[in-house]
Amino acid sequence: MRPSAVRLLNILVPIKRAVDYAVKIRVNPEQTGIDLNVKHSMNPFDEIAVEEAVRIRERLKDAVKSIKVVTIGPPKSAETLRTALAMGADSAIHVEIPESAPAPEPLGVAKTLKALIERQKEGVDVVIMGKQAIDDDAGQTGQMLAGLMGWSQATFASKVVVDPEQKVANVTREIDGGLEELRCKLPVIITTDLRQVHLQPRYASLPNIMKAKKKPVEKLTATDLGIDLTPRLETIKVTEPPKRVGGGKVANVDELLAKLKEVGITGKRA
Amino acid sequence: MLKVRTSLLNRLLARSYATAPSPHALVFLEHHQGDLDSASLSALTAASQLGGQVTGLVVGSPEEVPSVVEKAKRLNGLSTLLHSASPQYSTLLPETISPLFEKLLSQNSPFTHVVSAHSSSAKSILPRVAAKLDVPAVSDITSLEHDAASGSTTFTRPIYAGNAISTVRASSSIPIKFFTVRSTAFAAAGAEDAAGSEVKALDPVEVSDAPSEHLGTSLTKSDRPDLGVASRVVSGGRALKNAETFQSTLYPLADALGAAVGASRAAVDAGYADNSLQVGQTGKVVAPELYMALGISGAIQHLAGMKDSKLIIAVNKDPDAPIFQVADVGLVADLFEVVPEMVEKLKQ
């Protein structure tokens, strides 16, 4: 085998604009969804993904050729792309959908991402994205994309080490009851877990925000990509969860334990 | 047995009238160290509620599978049990397991639904398979209803961290309906049915050049019950100060109650407790008989993980902490005084 130059990595980071995690959401009176006239921001898991991508470049320097962010969403999602660009991504793609269009489902998003990956002339080596969006809480898109591409996948990642020479990524995953380590061949789809104490997403500095305004954003539509984003599951209604009412307070431990006893909870005899 | 015959009869009738086929669910039964996961038993209960046949699937290494099959074949509600053993199934890599599912579900597949627990393995595997079959998936359902006449299934599932409930319908145009089940919303299926199900071995689908490789697993060891299925949970927040205080304060109480230990994200992020103990939107969702929140303010992300608990007890110094709005019993006090007193009195 003749020696070949180390392939430079191209990283793609899909992100989503979602209702801010701190907002107390309200179901609309028509029960078709929630009131969306509230603060929105980047899905927190995606913020971790952008941060991770930027840190991969900080560690690997020139081995990372590009970090591209992509979003599929209404015109306002452009703000979310700018935030990611200000955090350190180089360029962005906005697959714009009408403001009134229903939210695309994970499968539609995965198909769109596949079409976008296939358009990248230099290819994509690492896709890093959030493990779930905090609005629909589906947690499917990354796995679906990995299936459609036939690529390796590492979900719920808490640590990512990319080795561009070996063309592998070692990923530590959060699993039920502990951690698991995988070695994935590139190209790979990684989904990030929030439980990463070390990964505080950076705040974009003002100069970086200014620079981000000049970074290129490519605009496309689902039709350009030949994708139908019509949901296949029918949302019949969205309702408030059953309300829990606080039962009031007690004055001391004895009263507390008496309440426990009432429902049959006592100490466990060794 | 009567139930099985009725559903068979229904299916025959349905077929002869050329309407939607009677539901036939494939349930992915997960296991650890020879025991079936309780979350999978809840998934089986959900699958049974579709009102049709239910087939179980056990995969694993040749050492594990036989003993798991022995237990699984007696499960209530299971008509058939499929199993597949291969050294390559000893860890559930989605890249290696998916081809088996695809083979089982493609071409003349009898299955109308694919069901699993909302576990970390199933969440990784099933969406990958669904995408390959070009069907959507429904995550973390809390109830379901199948309409045999139209072949559509309606699910409810929490969205926005449990702050809203969405009702969605998968119509008959989706030939195979994938869904994962919130285990705390369904009782675990029992194994009293001595009849046993029909057991069939499936050839594993060899994947030669798998794009990923398992290097190792490290599980958090604990003598206490597993957080996900414990009937009592004692949970601590940032007020616990540090890892030593977290352990020295909460563990004696957990032991006195026979409870599992949980933590808020603040406590996990501050390094007081292991990630695997986190309760909330980004951690585990629990619904025990008793949830005791100590020094936890009750952010919506935390409430999403525990508000379906039967009895919520909160101890917090701050009388305005949001946790008191959901707690059945609240005590405004310093937990460092209250917890040792509780331990003492529980031991009496």
> CB within 8 A of A59, min separation 6: which ones?
none
Predicted local distance difference test score (pLDDT) of residue B225: 85
Predicted local distance difference test score (pLDDT) of residue A195: 60
Does residue B242 sit at the A interface (CB-CB below 8 Å)?
no
Average pLDDT, chain A: 92
Predicted local distance difference test score (pLDDT) of residue B222: 75
| Nearest residue on chain A to B119, alpha-carbon basis | A176
B184 CA: distance to closest CA in chain A (Å):
15
For B212-215, the CB contacts below 8 A with 24+ separation are: B212/A152, B212/A153, B212/A154, B212/A182, B212/A183, B212/A184, B212/A185, B212/A188, B212/B93, B212/B95, B213/A182, B213/A183, B213/A184, B213/B93, B214/A180, B214/A181, B214/A182, B214/B91, B214/B93, B215/A170, B215/A181, B215/A182, B215/A183
Q: Is B268 in Cβ contact with A175 (below 8 Å)?
A: no
Predicted local distance difference test score (pLDDT) of residue B184: 86
* CA B55 – CA A170 distance, rounded (Å): 36
Predicted local distance difference test score (pLDDT) of residue B13: 47
Q: What is the ipTM of this complex?
A: 0.93
| pLDDT tier for residue A3 given thresholds of 50, 70 and 90 | low
Measured in degrees and rounded to the nearest 5, phi and psi for residue B234 equal -110, 120
Kindly report the number of other CB atoms within 10 A of residue B94's CB atom.
25
**Residue A194 pLDDT > 80:** no
Q: Is A134 in Cβ contact with B127 (below 8 Å)?
A: no
Predicted local distance difference test score (pLDDT) of residue A152: 97
* CA B139 – CA B221 distance, rounded (Å): 29
Residues A158-184, mean pLDDT to the nearest whole number: 92
Report helix angle B335-347 to B243-257, nearest 10: 30
CB burial readout B221-248, b (16+ within 10 A) else e:
ebebbbbbbbbbbbbbbbbbeeeeebbe
Does residue B102 sit at the A interface (CB-CB below 8 Å)?
no
- β-pairing verdict for A178-185 and A168-175: antiparallel
Does residue B119 sit at the A interface (CB-CB below 8 Å)?
yes
In angstroms, the Cα distances linking A56 to A126, A181, A190, A196 are 11, 18, 13, 15
| pLDDT tier for residue A199 given thresholds of 50, 70 and 90 | low
In terms of Cβ atoms closer than 10 Å to its own Cβ (0-12, 13-18, 19+), residue B29 is buried
Predicted local distance difference test score (pLDDT) of residue B15: 45
DSSP single-letter state for residue B278: B
> CB within 8 A of B62, min separation 6: which ones?
B85, B86, B87
Predicted local distance difference test score (pLDDT) of residue A6: 59
Predicted local distance difference test score (pLDDT) of residue A181: 96
Predicted local distance difference test score (pLDDT) of residue B19: 58
* CA B312 – CA B291 distance, rounded (Å): 5
Nearest to A246 among B256, B258, B326 (CB): B326
Between residues A110 and B224, which one has the greater pLDDT? Answer: A110
Low pLDDT (below 70) residues in chain B: 1-20, 193-194
Q: Is B346 in Cβ contact with A263 (below 8 Å)?
A: no
- What is the tens place of the pLDDT at every residue in A62-93? 999 999 999 999 999 999 999 999 999 999 99
